[in-house]
């Protein structure tokens, strides 16, 4: 049995869709007005403000239902801004001589005021373009608030880089495919990587990853199995049998070798170690 790594680093995947800002402003109402202004400049509609529990909440919606639905029917329409809908929510609280703003942008369904659900109302490709547009809006609105309150960019803030976004998106798709928008999504990286072999992930990776609730990898393996067996069923020859076998086994070798690292990335511990 492997010993648990003494220390590790964790990266939050939610940073692409949410930010906690600390603004150099003391007037909470003024900050709320700046949030409304930023949303309206970003073409958000039905911007409203609610005060409750010693905080101000500002909400707004980007995109129209009918337009998003009709544009989504066109080729590649679901990947353009006019074929999408977003929901913005900012929670504003006073904190001494500063004001805290928790800002989140959530992709919404075309015809319903609900967040998108992967494989139900949203394909993986659509999810990627939805979340990238939400990330662009998030950074634009956050930059507007900092600029209008003379707040400098904090050290260590995440930069908007397409490659970094794509890497985190694919990681999140594997580890948290069916998790909701409000779920905690951390990627744990051990400071002392280890190499291990997992027989369960080699023999039946589809079930091994489902058992550990790592749905993205399981769905990927099911899709690969379906593609290989469809190839063999369509062209039942010795050549296709050899191709299927040549691909089927290496896929499982990879899952057998990488399962422990994937498990650690999600849970921050090695398989077999006591839960935290």
Domains of the chain: 14-179 (3.30.530), 193-267 (no CATH)
pLDDT computed for residue 181 by the predictor: 77
pLDDT computed for residue 248 by the predictor: 87
173's tokens: 């798709």
pLDDT computed for residue 256 by the predictor: 95
Report the chain (276 residues): mean pLDDT per 10 consecutive residues: 53 92 92 96 95 92 95 93 96 92 96 91 93 95 94 79 93 92 88 87 95 94 90 85 85 94 93 71
pLDDT computed for residue 183 by the predictor: 86
């Amino acid at each position: 049995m492997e010993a648990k790594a003494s220390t590790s680093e964790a990266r939050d995947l939610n940073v692409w869709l949410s930010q906690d800002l600390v603004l150099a402003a003391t007037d909470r109402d003024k900050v709320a007005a700046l949030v409304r202004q930023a949303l309206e400049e970003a073409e958000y509609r039905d911007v409203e403000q609610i005060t409750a529990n010693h905080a101000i909440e500002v909400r707004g919606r980007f995109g129209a239902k009918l337009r998003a639905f009709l544009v989504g029917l066109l080729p590649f329409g679901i990947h353009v801004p006019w074929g999408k809908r977003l929901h913005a929510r900012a929670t504003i609280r006073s904190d001494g001589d500063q004001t805290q703003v928790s800002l989140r942008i959530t992709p919404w369904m075309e015809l319903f005021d609900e967040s998108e659900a992967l494989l139900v109302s949203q394909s993986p490709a659509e999810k990627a373009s939805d979340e990238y547009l939400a990330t662009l809006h998030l950074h634009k609105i956050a930059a507007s608030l900092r600029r209008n309150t003379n707040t400098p960019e904090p050290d260590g803030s995440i930069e908007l880089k397409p490659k970094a976004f794509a890497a985190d998106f694919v990681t999140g798709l594997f580890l948290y495919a069916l998790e909701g928008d409000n779920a905690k999504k951390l990627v744990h990286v051990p400071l002392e990587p280890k190499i291990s072999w997992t027989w369960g992930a080699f023999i039946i990776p589809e079930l091994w990853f489902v058992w550990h609730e790592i749905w993205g990898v399981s769905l990927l393996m099911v899709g690969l199995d379906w593609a290989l067996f469809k190839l063999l069923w369509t062209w039942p020859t010795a050549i296709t049998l050899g191709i299927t076998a040549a691909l089927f086994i290496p896929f499982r070798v990879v899952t057998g070798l990488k399962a422990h690292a994937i498990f650690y990335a999600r849970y921050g511990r090695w398989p077999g170690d006591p839960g935290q």
